[in-house]
Amino acid sequence: MAQQTNTQKNEQQENCNQPTKKVVIIGAGLGGLAVAIALRKLGYEVQVYEKARDFRPVGGGLGLLPNGLNSLDAIEPGIVETIKQSACEVGTTFLKNTQGETLSQNADEAKSRLLEQLTDWGESLRSLVEAMPAEQIMENPIYDRLPVPSWSHGRVTLLGDAAHAMAPALAQGSNTTFEDAYELASCFSQASSIQQALAYYEKRRIFRIQLIQNCSALGEKRYYATKQEQEEINRQMQEQSSMSREEFQNWLQNYKPSYQLN
């Protein structure tokens, strides 16, 4: 009989232990909670650990797109209808601190800083900012990270911002996080061991996410580019994706899970 590899032995040990099916999730953010719900549906005992002691506003709305909504609906059928009923069109926005107070003093400073940065920009943009009440201006730093080739180590993996924080240009942070949550749970339901599930998960996710991260970073640059630079950025995006702009948007947003989790 051929000798067993360590991986095969580990897989067998995990299969023997399968009745417990315990999963620990660090972080009760959008991704942590979505995957917790998905895995509970599959019969896993899930424990979620969150460092924040209470709910606090972060001062931002969330734009949900078809790929994220399709993933949520595959995890919890009907939830998209509930979200649509409780969501609203953005009208006026206010900047609040973590105590829920509107930030007017800091907002004045933010407005002056913004106008200073816009010194060399066109008059129409400057007058738009000048006319805007300071408390409606939100100043937030943007952080992203370079794509990484692997998200898993042993029995541990990452999802959402922890795996692929991205610039907001394509509004894909939470939408791709919901895709991750669905795919991770679906890999658990199809694999015979944790290692296999995490290998499937990376195989399904990493290429798609790297492309979205790279195009988000390029898309972010487009906001600050001259017309000529924008054309160059568009060319780079097409080169990255090997797709026209329209094909890329279709590929991005038409992502649809193949079945519902239950």
- Residues in contact with ligand FAD by CB under 6 A are 26-32, 49-52, 58, 60, 62-63, 140, 160-162, 168, 171-175, 177
From the CB of 21, what's the least distance to ligand FAD, in Å?
Answer: 22
Helix 6-16 to helix 194-222 angle, to the nearest 10 degrees?
A: 100
From the CB of 165, what's the least distance to ligand FAD, in Å?
Answer: 7
- Output 140 or 190, the one with its CB closest to ligand FAD: 140
- Output 181 or 237, the one with its CB closest to ligand FAD: 181
- Output 55 or 259, the one with its CB closest to ligand FAD: 55
- Output 17 or 140, the one with its CB closest to ligand FAD: 140
Q: How far apart are CA 205 and CA 214, in angstroms?
A: 14
Q: How far apart are CA 203 and CA 193, in angstroms?
A: 15
When CB distances to ligand FAD are compared, the closest residue is 29
How crowded is residue 62: how many other Cβ atoms within 10 Å of its Cβ?
Answer: 13
Q: How far apart are CA 151 and CA 137, in angstroms?
A: 36
From the CB of 108, what's the least distance to ligand FAD, in Å?
Answer: 20
From the CB of 162, what's the least distance to ligand FAD, in Å?
Answer: 6
Question: Are 182 and 71 within 8 A, CB to CB?
Answer: yes
Return the exposure string of 109-143: e unless at least 16 CB atoms fall within 10 Å of the residue's CB, then b.
ebbeebeeeeeeeeeeeeeeeeeeebbebeeeeee
From the CB of 257, what's the least distance to ligand FAD, in Å?
Answer: 17
- Output 186 or 193, the one with its CB closest to ligand FAD: 186
